[in-house]
């Protein structure tokens, strides 16, 4: 198993080794020690590789991930899993702002709390946060699922499109065009699957409320001008 010590090895060497992996490579287990808050750890992974990061990271860890399984045994700075395409990213601690921003696929799990703008402009990614999320989360969310076991801050789902939001705790306020919606059997089934994939136990999908778009801001209407 390749081990990269970022206290002595340049980050570029780690990312270059990950980018050079062909599909079906034998070395699929990487360990990163002493990340010391480094930015852009394991960005652009496009192979089915497992990367264990033993410590906290800075900006944009696992950005553009496409097929890798990346686990951070610590917390992550802004933009973790930004524009992720597929695969799985797990943050054992907390995530800073805009976690999973513009993500197009895959699963992001935050076992602590996530700060503001979690899932902003999400485009197909699934995000499960075991704790709370900050304000303006899922702003302009287009598709995918945001699951929050704790509470949500102000303006949840502002200017939402078709992303589906599930919150177990309290929502401080809803953003423009975001409303609470009926929790039907089909949503309970999807949510149960997401909770299982994210390793959540002892929580029932029936304990969540669902939020989505009221679909009033898809097209400009002068009567709704104040809401834009």
pLDDT tens, position by position, 64-83: 999 999 999 999 999 999 99
Considering the entire predicted model, what is its pTM? 0.94
What pLDDT sits at residue 179? 97
pLDDT at 24: 66
Kindly indicate the confidence band of residue 132, based on its pLDDT and cuts at 50, 70 and 90: very high
User: Is residue 72 situated within a structural domain?
Assistant: yes
Q: Averaged over 15-42, what is the pLDDT? A: 90
The answer to whether residue 222 sits within a structural domain is no
Q: To the nearest whole percent, how much of the chain has pLDDT over 70?
A: 96
CATH, residue 147: 2.160.20.60
Q: What's the structural domain count of the chain? A: 1
What value does the mean pLDDT of the chain take?
95
* 221 is a domain residue: no
How many whole angstroms from its chain centre is CA 71? Answer: 13
Q: Would residue 201 count as lying in a domain?
A: yes
Q: Considering the domain boundaries, does residue 220 fall inside one? A: no
Q: How confident is the model at residue 21 (pLDDT cuts 50, 70, 90)?
A: confident
When pLDDT is cut at 50, 70 and 90, the band that residue 221 belongs to is confident
Residue 59 belongs to a domain: yes
Domain that holds residue 74: 3-19+27-215
pLDDT in tens, 178-211: 999 999 999 999 999 999 999 999 999 999 999 9
Let me know if residue 224 belongs to a domain: no
Q: Is residue 160 part of a domain?
A: yes
Mean pLDDT, to the nearest integer, of 220-228? 69
Q: What's the mean pLDDT in 82-91?
A: 98
The C-alpha atoms of residue 115 and residue 153 are separated, in whole angstroms, by: 9
Instruction: Answer yes or no: is pLDDT of 27 > 80.
Output: no
113-141 average pLDDT score: 98
């Amino acid at each position: 198993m390749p081990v990269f010590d970022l206290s002595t090895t340049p980050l570029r060497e780690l990312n270059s080794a990950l980018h050079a992996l062909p599909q079906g490579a034998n070395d699929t287990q990487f360990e990163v020690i002493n990340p010391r808050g480094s930015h852009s750890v394991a960005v652009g992974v496009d192979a089915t590789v497992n990367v264990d990061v033993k410590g906290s990271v800075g900006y944009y860890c696992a950005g553009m991930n496409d097929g890798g399984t990346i686990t951070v045994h610590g917390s992550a700075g802004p933009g973790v899993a930004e524009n992720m395409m597929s695969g799985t990213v797990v943050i054992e601690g907390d995530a800073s702002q805009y976690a999973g921003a513009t993500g197009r696929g895959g699963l992001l799990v935050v076992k602590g709390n996530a700060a503001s703008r979690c899932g902003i402009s999400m485009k197909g990614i699934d995000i499960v946060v075991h704790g709370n999320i900050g304000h303006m989360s899922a702003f302009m969310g287009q598709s995918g699922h945001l699951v929050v076991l704790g509470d949500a801050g102000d303006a949840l789902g502002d200017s939402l499109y078709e992303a589906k939001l599930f919150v177990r705790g309290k929502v401080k306020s809803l953003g423009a065009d975001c409303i609470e919606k009926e929790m039907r059997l089909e949503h309970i089934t999807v949510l149960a699957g997401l909770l299982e994939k994210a390793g959540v136990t002892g929580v029932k999908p029936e304990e969540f409320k669902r939020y989505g778009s009221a679909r009033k801001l898809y097209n400009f209407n002068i009567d709704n001008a104040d809401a834009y």
